[in-house]
Amino acid sequence: MENQQIKNYLKLLFKVALTATALYIVGRKIDLPETKQILFRANAVWLFAALLLFNASKVLSAVRLNRFFSSIGLQLSQTYNLRLYYVGMFYNLFLPGGIGGDGYKVYLLNQKYNTGIKPLVSATLLDRLSGMVALVFLAGLLAFAGSVYAQAKLPNYWQYLAIIGQFCLLPLFYVVVKRLFSSFYPDLHTTNLQAFGVQLLQLLCCYCILCSLDISSGFVFYLFLFLLSSVVAVLPFTVGGVGARELVMIMGYTYLPINPNSAVAFSLLFFLITALSSFIGAFLQVDKH
């Protein structure tokens, strides 16, 4: 037990070090006073709208996860499942060194309902994968819609890779699920639609954040980078994705016509909305159905 705690603390220290390094690099690339001014000028009304949309995306995401649970015979009320989802968000963001939110949900549901570990892990893993597929697919659409390849300093082969990826991504996902997660396949159409709904709500949330910062042009580039940074933020290398998102924004400035100070301010505001929403999980009880 002590060895596990030591590993958790070392993991946390590693994440904190990577987060600090990423933020240091970002800080060297932007004008900190200007970024601070941009943050303090943010419109509160637009930010409140962004907060509502972000939480709407989380409610839909919880509904999708519950659909995966029902596929393995675990019937949870939507209310209880939503409480559990927010508690998981709290664990993911505020307890990054130990058990994560997904691990906590698997442990609790296994203890309470005697559901096998393997089907619970499969449900949570597939929930993550479906969200990632929707995210990557929408990123590709934004790339085309915003004429990213025409205005950005990217080599031509990126365009061809994106086209191939767009045509192959969803069919490949269906094949993988049918072969490896067959019990979830009958509900895959519904869960995929819900996954796209989640990402679209998050894009609307980001649009509101951009409006709060009075950014009047280049929306598609900021949203495109947001989706790319979301892919990076999923990787458990930094605390709550802090630093990773901002680093992607700064790297994107090299190729896309965006303001790096506004991009970092936008990313920080999204994190604050995430943190505020996740903190709700600290006040919810999930020991009773």
Q: Model confidence at 206, in pLDDT bands (50, 70, 90)?
A: very high
Please compute the mean of the pLDDT values over residues 32-53 and round it to a whole number. Answer: 88
Structural domain contains residue 154: no
Q: For 125-134, 254-263, 267-276, which range has the lowest pLDDT when averaged over its residues?
A: 254-263
The DSSP symbol for 76 reads: -
Q: Is residue 63 part of a domain?
A: yes
Per DSSP, the chain holds a count of helices (H) and strands (E) of 12, 0
Residue 12 lies in a domain: yes
Tell me the mean pLDDT in the region 263-278.
88
Q: What is the chain's mean pLDDT, rounded?
A: 81
Q: Within a domain: residue 15?
A: yes
Is 65 a domain residue? yes
| 194-215 average pLDDT score | 94
On whether residue 115 sits in a domain, the answer given is yes
* Contact yes or no for 245/209 (Cβ under 8 A): no
Over 80: is that where the pLDDT of 234 sits?
no
Look up the domain containing 249 and give its range: 2-132+197-283
The mean pLDDT value for 59-71 works out to 95
C-alpha distances (whole Å) from 30 to each of 83, 251, 281 are 39, 11, 34
What size, in residues, is the chain? 289
pLDDT exceeds 70 at position 63: yes
Give the highest mean pLDDT range of 138-152, 228-242, 272-286.
Answer: 272-286
Per the structure, the count of domains in the chain is 1
Q: What is the DSSP letter of 77?
A: -
Q: Is 28 domain-assigned?
A: yes
Query: What is the DSSP code string of 79-138?
Result: HHHHHHHHHHHHHHHH-TTS--HHHHHHHHHHHHH---HHHHHHHHHHHHHHHHHHHHHH
pLDDT reading at 208 higher than 90: yes
pLDDT band at residue 258, thresholds of 50, 70 and 90?
confident
Greater model confidence, 25 or 266: 266
Whether residue 148 lies inside any domain: the answer is: no
DSSP 152: S
What number is the average pLDDT over the span 210-233?
Answer: 85
